[in-house]
A and B are shown apart, each in its own frame.
Chain A
Amino acid sequence: MSGFADRPWGRLDWVLDRLDPSPWHLISCRGTEDRCFAVLRGLAERNLVSDASLIDIAEPDGHPRSEDIARLKEVRSNELEDGDLSEIATEIFSHRLLEPFHLVVEQTKAIAAAHPRIVLDITALPKRFFFPMLKMILASEALTDLVVTYSMAESYASQDLHQDIQSPEFLPLFPPDLGDNGHSAESLIVSVGFESSGVIQILEESDYSPVTVLFSYPAPPPFFGRNWDFLRHASRSVDRDHLTLKGISAFDVASVFETLKTTVLGGGGMSVCAPFGPKPVSLAMALFVIGPGSGRSAVTYTQPKYYNPDYSQGVLSDPSGSVIYAYPIVLGGNRFFEQ
């Protein structure tokens, strides 16, 4: 058990310095982005990773840039085989992006049962995967420690980050509870960010009211313009009398968690979260809905069919090193987000 106060978070190195130095099992994604192994590297440099489960996710056939994807994945494979990372025992688990969700759920269950100390790196994991994975890890009786990590990229693609969103669906294991009569309207809490076109579909096809938009503020430049762009577009689909904006931090999971609590408790009814914003905000949503105080909340999302293989470039760094955030969720059996 660390001497952390309530819901700690910070840069990965800072957090690791304060934790039990026993090795961790890392669950991460082998994707196309440069940053997908940043956490693996960070842990390896400190000899803090025992072994790693890497999820490889194949997008549906017909991706317009399938050769680029294959090439970039080859680069990632080479990174694993050469240099420092080659000494780490890694196991690759192949999945399809739009497969039945029991496959990743069952697999996570098995991994979590065998590893009491887990780092879940959500940097390159799609929400359709990391939401149920997080829930299953937290449900594991073997779990003693869980840290979730997120690496910032140096830059992001100026073009669309993904293509062909699907219909809104409740994320696996995050459906709403049945209401009293199944007819009542629900409130929607949506975080906005890079790509929010799916929110429009959600707003148009449901009777959510009121709608609370969580706006990352201050937001780094790529988020900033797209946030306002989204709002301009969405404001045509929403009854503006029932729209509220709330400024939140893009990285402070604990404070977003508290904002969600106040918003939902204030609303008094069923809330549906729509995680279209920065990943740490999505993490806060997942933790909030998993937790006991979320009422009958659920998470809805429009899963894209294809991702841009150039989604991001590089790993953001500053004089302190790579910008990787770490969020301890469970330490020594102490669950920080279940109050």
Chain B
Amino acid sequence: MAASSANPFDSLYVTETIDAESFVSVFSPFIVHDTSSLFEAGNVVLVGTQGSGKSMLLSLLKPETRIAYCKAGESLPLQAARARRFIGGGVNLTRSGAIDFGQRPLMHGEDDANAAAAYFGDFLNYWIVDDLLRSLLALLKYPEAAAEAGMLKVDQARLDSFAATLSSEDCWLGVTNEISTFDGFLRLSRSRVTDYRNYFNYNTDDLTASIRESKTSAGEPISVTAKLLRSHGLVDETTNIFIRIDQYEELGRLDEWHDSQYGSTFASVVHKMLGLRDPRVSYRIGTRRNAWPERPRMQGTSAVLEELRNYRIVDLDEILRPSEHSRPFPKFAEDVFRRRITWAGYPDAASGRSLVREAFGPSPKPEQRAELYVGSRGAAPRTSPEWSPEARNLVKAAAKRSPLEGVLAEAYLHQQGEEGLREAKSVEPWSTRQWWRKERTGQALLQLAARQKQKMLWWGAEDIFALSGANILVFVSLCQSIWDAHLRAMDTPEPAKVLPEIRDPYIQDEGIQQASRYWHRKVRSDPDGDSRLLFVDYLGTRFRKWLRDDIRLSYPGHNGFSLDDSELRADEEVRDFLNSAAAYGVLVDRIHSTRNRGGQKRHKWYLAPIYSAYFQIPAAHVKEPRYVRAKEVRRWLADAGVPGFITTGNGSRGPQRDDQQESLFAEPEAD
């Protein structure tokens, strides 16, 4: 089934709810190659912001995905056959009800976090083993999928034999002794889970005595199950067994709901499972960035997990971020783009072509943007009466050649003075000093557009990639909005499925602005989003003002700020707020390598690039960000009206926001 809409990007999310063939067509396995450890033995903590592809990767571990590929007559999109040999089970901590532990006290005085954690671990054991065995059954219905997963041909007798042995294992503390069939075991495991859920939902008044007396040790039954699956010949000896634990970050919320540390204690149960270091089982923990603790303590001990020894972190944001040596995101985006339009019925395109560029064209050179901002009205240079006639003429001549040259020339003179101009190696140093010019071009364009009372414009493939900020969801939404704008501008319906060449900058910009507004508004939709939106609005407005009013173009990097790590350590509230904003993809954080000989470690922070169109600021991060102290950020948070940071008892803003956009296009104050 192909997409029915005229816009191939009509839906941002294409999930398992579509038919198998479509799912396989649209699913991009691009980042799989960079995350190979996810498909190898060993524990992995998979971190990433929304839109980084985390859910997509984890879904590869689910049996439904493998079955979808099987139905479409394809193998899982993993290059090595060895990597495709795995089965898995898992738990979503929210949907399973696991985070309800602690919501109702357990009787007999067992109402503290540690007692609840023992039950929590028992619940996870039963849920995960149950899910693992049901996944096994689901795959058995598709022999090709089962074979690819490394499952062996099994009959009911072997399943029952496995279940009988599993039931007799000591790890269950005698509860399962009477079970002799696979179905019987599934009934018991489901019954145990249901007993817990009934208790937390007040369908029963007490947990059964059986549960109280037979709490299993976190992770142990899972290890035993994995061992027996192999020894009973249900799966090949080399088949990996991956256990997914999704929404780990939600445990953090429990601490806020209780006076005691339920969330961190429950997290220690998950850590304990990883700490078993059982080569037969590999855990996959999916979580937002910054939710995984620096020192993951294990339940019942002061010992902590060690990275590399107990687990590896796969950070999708890091993988997709551009570095000096590689820019992986555009290739990922191209693959997603190609799959979407092919799915929508456009002719299958060779994977070597850049379809994004074919559809949207290249982004303009800075001079072209400047010409568009100025139009036919021209832009008179702003010279200073203190300058000599020669200097003023030099600026005027530059402006006449190109409006952008004029702004750069003005800034150079403001910054270096005529003395600096005389000492320069060339007559027009703003043109010849390449780095000086490159770093200031974005800021100069912002100032030029503001002077002309024009909006900054974005269009073309490079702008789209830059605004996406290595976030595939943002990229798809940009394509969606531009395509929509293109369809609206058409006089007649698109005649045939031919890749359109959308070249009108205003149409593209209209779509980009729409997408930017969408993402800006969407900040509210995430947990604690209003607080982050207040801060985003505060920063966006400040960044624009700083860049616009800096007529010397001395601080082109002031669309970001930098903080000393030691300051962040000292102010946990500010650190947690910034980390949370980065986890939700609202801010982008980077290690800040400075030339400072003191060697203090710093981090720098920027708004996610997609907000650039909304706030009318350059998306590129250049030169030095603004150096600030934690107390300054704290003051920003207070001024923005973020709850918890307001110093007066009665903040003036409350749950409301001003429309920041009104002030964005004002003129810079007179020089």
Interface residues of A (CB under 8 A from B): 60-68, 98-102, 105, 135-136, 139, 159-170, 172-173, 175-176, 178, 181-183, 185, 197-198, 200-201, 204, 207-209, 233, 236-242, 302, 305-309
Contact = CB atoms under 8 A, between A and B. Distances in A.
A63 B138 contact: no
Nearest to B528: A164
15 contacts: A64-B646, A64-B655, A100-B103, A102-B105, A159-B657, A163-B655, A169-B99, A175-B201, A178-B193, A182-B134, A204-B13, A207-B16, A233-B518, A236-B477, A237-B11
Interface string B97-119: 10110111100000000000000
A182 B94 CA distance: 13
Interface of B: 4-5, 10-18, 50, 62-64, 94-95, 97, 99-100, 102-105, 131, 134, 138, 190, 193-194, 197, 201-202, 250, 253, 256-258, 477, 480, 518, 521-522, 524-531, 641, 643-646, 649-651, 653-657
Contacts of A64: 641, 643, 646, 651, 653-655
Of B197, B253, B257, B645, most buried by chain A (CB within 10 Å of CB) is B257
Contacts of A172: 103, 201
Contacts of A302: 527
Contacts of B63: 183
Given A169-B94, A178-B194, A239 B18 contact: yes
A165 B94 contact: no
B257 A183 contact: no
A143 to B, nearest CB: 15
Contacts of A100: 102-104, 257-258
Contacts of A67: 649-650
B640 to A, nearest CB: 10
Nearest to B63: A183
Given A176-B95, A197-B529, A208-B17, 6 more contacts: A66-B649, A164-B527, A166-B527, A175-B97, A200-B522, A237-B11
Contacts of A236: 12, 477, 480, 518
Contact of B656 (A160, A204, A237, A240): A160
A163 B5 contact: no
Of A60, A237, A242, most buried by chain B (CB within 10 Å of CB) is A237
A239 B11 contact: yes
A136 B202 CA distance: 9
Contact of B50 (A160, A176, A204): A204
A306 B653 CA distance: 13
A182 B135 CA distance: 10
A61 B190 CA distance: 40
Nearest to B518: A236
Contacts of B4: 241
Contacts of B190: 178
B16 A61 contact: no
Closest 8 CB pairs of A and B: A159-B656, A62-B644, A67-B650, A209-B17, A64-B651, A163-B655, A200-B525, A62-B643
- Interface majority SS on B: helix, strand, loop or mixed? loop
Contacts of A60: 256
A202 B649 CA distance: 34
Contacts of A181: 134, 138
Contacts, number: 155
Contact of A63 (B97, B527, B643): B643
Contacts of A175: 97, 100, 197, 201
B188 to A, nearest CB: 14
A102 B104 contact: yes
Contact of A102 (B103, B522, B649): B103
Contact of A237 (B13, B105, B131, B655): B13
A241 B19 CA distance: 13
A301 B13 CA distance: 21
B13 A239 contact: yes
A100 B202 CA distance: 13
Nearest to B89: A182
A239 B14 contact: yes
Nearest to A67: B650
A167 B15 CA distance: 20
B649 A306 contact: no
Contacts of B62: 183
A263 B134 CA distance: 29
A111 to B, nearest CB: 15
B306 to A, nearest CB: 30
A185 B518 contact: no
B439 to A, nearest CB: 35
Contact of A164 (B14, B522, B530): B530
A236 B529 CA distance: 19
A201 B525 contact: yes
Contacts of A307: 655
B518 A164 contact: no
A236 to B, nearest CB: 6
Nearest to B262: A100
B351 to A, nearest CB: 26
A178 B95 CA distance: 10
A165 B138 contact: no
A233 B515 CA distance: 11
A233 B530 CA distance: 16
A101 B16 CA distance: 33
Of B4, B62, B480, B530, most buried by chain A (CB within 10 Å of CB) is B530
A19 to B, nearest CB: 29
Nearest to B97: A175
Contacts of B194: 178
Nearest to B525: A200
A139 B525 CA distance: 35
B138 A166 contact: no
B94 A240 contact: no
Given A64-B641, A164-B531, A183-B64, A238 B11 contact: yes
Contacts of B645: 62
Contact of B528 (A65, A68, A182, A305): A305
A61 B650 contact: no
Contacts of A176: 95
Of A65, A169, A197, A198, most buried by chain B (CB within 10 Å of CB) is A65
B529 A165 contact: yes
A131 B355 CA distance: 51
